Structure 1
Protein backbone atom coordinates (compact mmCIF):
# COMPACT_ATOMS: atom_id res chain seq x y z
CA UNK A 1 0.00 0.00 0.00
CA UNK A 2 1.27 3.46 -0.86
CA UNK A 3 0.68 5.91 1.97
CA UNK A 4 0.45 9.65 1.51
CA UNK A 5 2.54 10.35 4.60
CA UNK A 6 5.67 8.54 5.66
CA UNK A 7 7.95 9.10 8.62
CA UNK A 8 11.31 10.15 7.21
CA UNK A 9 13.51 10.14 10.31
CA UNK A 10 16.68 11.32 8.52
CA UNK A 11 14.77 14.31 7.12
CA UNK A 12 13.24 15.09 10.52
CA UNK A 13 16.70 14.92 12.10
CA UNK A 14 18.11 17.31 9.50
CA UNK A 15 15.22 19.74 9.93
CA UNK A 16 15.58 19.76 13.72
CA UNK A 17 19.30 20.48 13.47
CA UNK A 18 18.77 23.27 10.92
CA UNK A 19 15.93 24.86 12.91
CA UNK A 20 17.93 24.69 16.15
CA UNK A 21 20.86 26.45 14.52
CA UNK A 22 18.60 29.09 12.97
CA UNK A 23 17.16 29.72 16.42
CA UNK A 24 20.69 30.27 17.71
CA UNK A 25 20.50 27.45 20.21
CA UNK A 26 23.15 24.91 21.10
CA UNK A 27 22.24 21.26 21.53
CA UNK A 28 22.64 21.77 25.27
CA UNK A 29 20.24 24.74 25.32
CA UNK A 30 17.61 22.88 23.30
CA UNK A 31 17.98 19.83 25.52
CA UNK A 32 17.44 21.94 28.62
CA UNK A 33 14.34 23.60 27.17
CA UNK A 34 12.69 20.28 26.24
CA UNK A 35 13.94 18.40 29.29
CA UNK A 36 16.04 15.71 27.61
CA UNK A 37 19.79 15.10 27.67
CA UNK A 38 22.23 16.84 25.36
CA UNK A 39 23.30 13.38 24.24
CA UNK A 40 19.70 12.62 23.21
CA UNK A 41 19.52 15.81 21.13
CA UNK A 42 22.79 14.87 19.41
CA UNK A 43 21.46 11.38 18.69
CA UNK A 44 18.18 12.79 17.34
CA UNK A 45 19.98 15.23 15.06
CA UNK A 46 22.27 12.50 13.74
CA UNK A 47 19.40 10.06 13.23
CA UNK A 48 20.83 7.62 15.75
CA UNK A 49 17.62 7.61 17.79
CA UNK A 50 13.98 7.94 16.82
CA UNK A 51 11.98 10.78 18.27
CA UNK A 52 8.85 10.43 20.35
CA UNK A 53 5.80 12.43 19.37
CA UNK A 54 5.91 14.42 22.61
CA UNK A 55 9.57 15.32 22.10
CA UNK A 56 8.80 16.39 18.53
CA UNK A 57 5.94 18.58 19.79
CA UNK A 58 8.23 20.07 22.45
CA UNK A 59 10.91 20.86 19.86
CA UNK A 60 8.37 22.50 17.54
CA UNK A 61 7.07 24.61 20.42
CA UNK A 62 10.52 25.70 21.59
CA UNK A 63 11.65 26.52 18.06
CA UNK A 64 8.35 28.32 17.29
CA UNK A 65 7.70 26.04 14.32
CA UNK A 66 4.68 24.42 12.80
CA UNK A 67 5.11 20.71 13.48
CA UNK A 68 4.33 20.02 9.81
CA UNK A 69 7.55 21.80 8.88
CA UNK A 70 9.43 19.13 10.83
CA UNK A 71 7.31 16.13 9.90
CA UNK A 72 5.85 16.32 6.45
CA UNK A 73 7.61 15.88 3.17
CA UNK A 74 4.71 17.53 1.42
CA UNK A 75 2.49 20.19 2.88
CA UNK A 76 0.94 23.42 1.64
CA UNK A 77 4.19 25.30 2.12
CA UNK A 78 6.38 22.70 0.43
CA UNK A 79 8.63 25.34 -1.12
CA UNK A 80 9.52 26.82 2.26
CA UNK A 81 13.15 26.96 3.20
CA UNK A 82 14.16 26.17 6.76
CA UNK A 83 14.48 29.90 7.37
CA UNK A 84 10.98 30.52 6.04
CA UNK A 85 9.60 27.75 8.23
CA UNK A 86 11.36 29.15 11.29
CA UNK A 87 10.15 32.69 10.61
CA UNK A 88 6.62 31.50 9.94
CA UNK A 89 6.47 29.72 13.28
CA UNK A 90 8.03 32.65 15.07
CA UNK A 91 5.61 35.17 13.58
CA UNK A 92 2.67 32.88 14.34
CA UNK A 93 3.51 33.09 18.05
CA UNK A 94 3.54 36.91 18.15
CA UNK A 95 0.76 39.10 19.47
CA UNK A 96 -1.03 41.42 17.02
CA UNK A 97 0.96 44.39 18.36
CA UNK A 98 4.24 42.52 17.95
CA UNK A 99 3.28 41.53 14.39
CA UNK A 100 2.51 45.17 13.55
CA UNK A 101 5.90 46.19 14.93
CA UNK A 102 7.70 43.51 12.88
CA UNK A 103 5.90 44.64 9.72
CA UNK A 104 6.89 48.23 10.47
CA UNK A 105 10.54 47.18 10.94
CA UNK A 106 10.61 45.14 7.72
CA UNK A 107 9.07 47.97 5.72
CA UNK A 108 11.68 50.33 7.15
CA UNK A 109 14.51 47.97 6.21
CA UNK A 110 13.14 47.59 2.68
CA UNK A 111 13.10 51.39 2.23
CA UNK A 112 16.63 51.83 3.55
CA UNK A 113 19.13 52.22 0.74
CA UNK A 114 22.74 52.38 1.94
CA UNK A 115 25.17 54.55 0.02
CA UNK A 116 26.76 52.47 -2.70
Structure 2
Protein backbone atom coordinates (compact mmCIF):
# COMPACT_ATOMS: atom_id res chain seq x y z
CA UNK A 1 0.00 0.00 0.00
CA UNK A 2 1.34 3.41 -0.88
CA UNK A 3 2.08 6.00 1.77
CA UNK A 4 -0.68 8.22 0.36
CA UNK A 5 -3.25 5.42 0.70
CA UNK A 6 -2.10 4.78 4.25
CA UNK A 7 -2.49 8.46 5.14
CA UNK A 8 -5.92 8.56 3.48
CA UNK A 9 -7.02 5.60 5.61
CA UNK A 10 -5.57 7.29 8.67
CA UNK A 11 -7.51 10.47 7.85
CA UNK A 12 -10.66 8.42 7.34
CA UNK A 13 -10.23 6.85 10.77
CA UNK A 14 -9.68 10.27 12.33
CA UNK A 15 -12.85 11.52 10.63
CA UNK A 16 -15.08 8.69 11.79
CA UNK A 17 -13.78 9.19 15.32
CA UNK A 18 -14.22 12.97 15.20
CA UNK A 19 -16.72 14.67 17.48
CA UNK A 20 -18.55 16.07 14.43
CA UNK A 21 -18.99 12.66 12.80
CA UNK A 22 -20.03 10.93 16.02
CA UNK A 23 -22.63 13.62 16.72
CA UNK A 24 -23.96 13.31 13.18
CA UNK A 25 -24.22 9.52 13.49
CA UNK A 26 -26.05 9.83 16.82
CA UNK A 27 -28.43 12.42 15.37
CA UNK A 28 -29.11 10.21 12.35
CA UNK A 29 -29.87 7.22 14.56
CA UNK A 30 -32.20 9.32 16.70
CA UNK A 31 -33.94 10.61 13.58
CA UNK A 32 -34.36 7.13 12.09
CA UNK A 33 -36.04 5.96 15.30
CA UNK A 34 -38.71 8.66 15.02
CA UNK A 35 -41.38 7.51 12.55
CA UNK A 36 -43.03 10.93 12.36
CA UNK A 37 -39.73 12.64 11.55
CA UNK A 38 -38.86 10.03 8.90
CA UNK A 39 -42.31 10.43 7.35
CA UNK A 40 -41.90 14.21 7.26
CA UNK A 41 -38.50 13.92 5.59
CA UNK A 42 -39.76 11.41 3.04
CA UNK A 43 -42.76 13.59 2.22
CA UNK A 44 -40.52 16.63 1.82
CA UNK A 45 -38.12 14.74 -0.46
CA UNK A 46 -41.03 13.52 -2.61
CA UNK A 47 -42.39 17.04 -3.00
CA UNK A 48 -38.89 18.34 -3.67
CA UNK A 49 -38.50 15.83 -6.49
CA UNK A 50 -41.89 16.83 -7.93
CA UNK A 51 -40.87 20.48 -7.78
CA UNK A 52 -37.55 19.72 -9.49
CA UNK A 53 -39.59 18.41 -12.43
CA UNK A 54 -41.98 21.39 -12.46
CA UNK A 55 -40.36 24.54 -11.11
CA UNK A 56 -43.18 26.74 -12.39
CA UNK A 57 -45.70 25.12 -10.01
CA UNK A 58 -46.23 27.87 -7.41
CA UNK A 59 -48.66 25.76 -5.39
CA UNK A 60 -46.00 23.09 -4.99
CA UNK A 61 -43.39 25.75 -4.10
CA UNK A 62 -45.64 27.05 -1.33
CA UNK A 63 -46.31 23.53 -0.07
CA UNK A 64 -42.57 22.81 0.00
CA UNK A 65 -41.87 25.97 1.97
CA UNK A 66 -44.56 25.04 4.46
CA UNK A 67 -43.23 21.49 4.80
CA UNK A 68 -39.72 22.82 5.33
CA UNK A 69 -40.85 25.13 8.14
CA UNK A 70 -42.74 22.27 9.76
CA UNK A 71 -39.76 19.94 9.41
CA UNK A 72 -37.36 22.37 11.03
CA UNK A 73 -39.65 22.59 14.07
CA UNK A 74 -38.91 18.92 14.70
CA UNK A 75 -35.95 18.77 17.10
CA UNK A 76 -34.57 15.52 15.69
CA UNK A 77 -34.64 16.74 12.09
CA UNK A 78 -33.21 20.11 13.03
CA UNK A 79 -30.45 18.50 15.11
CA UNK A 80 -29.59 16.14 12.25
CA UNK A 81 -29.32 19.01 9.77
CA UNK A 82 -27.14 20.99 12.17
CA UNK A 83 -24.78 18.08 12.77
CA UNK A 84 -24.57 17.43 9.02
CA UNK A 85 -23.65 21.07 8.54
CA UNK A 86 -20.94 20.88 11.22
CA UNK A 87 -19.43 17.77 9.64
CA UNK A 88 -19.62 19.46 6.23
CA UNK A 89 -17.63 22.39 7.61
CA UNK A 90 -14.97 20.00 8.88
CA UNK A 91 -14.76 18.37 5.44
CA UNK A 92 -14.58 21.80 3.76
CA UNK A 93 -11.71 22.77 6.04
CA UNK A 94 -9.84 19.57 5.20
CA UNK A 95 -10.42 20.02 1.48
CA UNK A 96 -9.28 23.62 1.67
CA UNK A 97 -6.09 22.67 3.50
CA UNK A 98 -5.26 20.05 0.86
CA UNK A 99 -6.05 22.50 -1.95
CA UNK A 100 -3.90 25.16 -0.31
CA UNK A 101 -0.95 22.75 -0.14
CA UNK A 102 -1.41 21.75 -3.79
CA UNK A 103 -1.93 25.36 -4.96
CA UNK A 104 -0.18 27.67 -2.46
CA UNK A 105 -0.27 30.61 -4.88
CA UNK A 106 -4.06 30.52 -5.10
CA UNK A 107 -4.42 32.99 -2.26
CA UNK A 108 -6.14 33.00 1.08
CA UNK A 109 -9.64 31.96 1.83
CA UNK A 110 -12.32 34.45 2.71
CA UNK A 111 -13.35 32.73 5.94
CA UNK A 112 -11.98 33.27 9.42
CA UNK A 113 -10.90 29.68 9.84
CA UNK A 114 -7.18 30.39 9.80
CA UNK A 115 -6.59 28.55 6.59
CA UNK A 116 -4.07 31.10 5.34
CA UNK A 117 -1.45 30.35 7.97
What TM-score do you get using the length of structure 1 for normalisation?
Answer: 0.29
What TM-score do you get using the length of structure 2 for normalisation?
Answer: 0.29
- The structure whose residues are more often helix, as a share, is 2
